Amino acid sequence: MSTDTHIVAYVQESDFDSVLTESEEKVVVVDFTATWCGPCRLISPLMEQLAEEYKGRAKVVKVDVDSNKPIFKKFGLRSIPAVLIFKEGVLIETIVGVSPYEQFSEAVQKLVADA
């Protein structure tokens, strides 16, 4: 039995655009995070939960801001955690800071309902 419960994969800047446009799921949730960021650790389990709940309907990925600074700046982000929600490659919603699970799930639910 695997002890690795992490189902949310890290993506690099080079793969970012293809993740947004080529995912079979129309909705992509991107968690901008860093290993040194305490609040990021608080939302990490929420991202796992989101990935489970919307499996097959939304894709959840993480971006390490330390190794992907240009992409972080591209979206005008200044602080983490920052969760960006895209639909068909278009940024629809940005949630910065620690938020309750409901805020993430409601944002995703709205988009998968329209899909």
Q: What is the Rg, in whole angstroms, of the alpha carbon atoms belonging to the chain? A: 13
Catalytic residue at 46? no
Q: From the candidates 37, 77, 95, 96, give the one annotated as an active-site residue.
A: 37
* 76 alpha-carbon distance from chain centroid: 16
Q: From the candidates 19, 29, 40, 46, give the one annotated as an active-site residue.
A: 40
Q: Is 48 exposed, middle or buried (0-12, 13-18, 19+ CB in 10 A)?
A: middle
| Residue pair 27/55 in contact by the 8 Å Cβ criterion | no
CA 79 vs CA 28, 44, 45, 58, 66: distances in Å: 20, 16, 19, 24, 12
Catalytic residue at 13? no
Q: Could you list the active site residues?
A: 37, 40
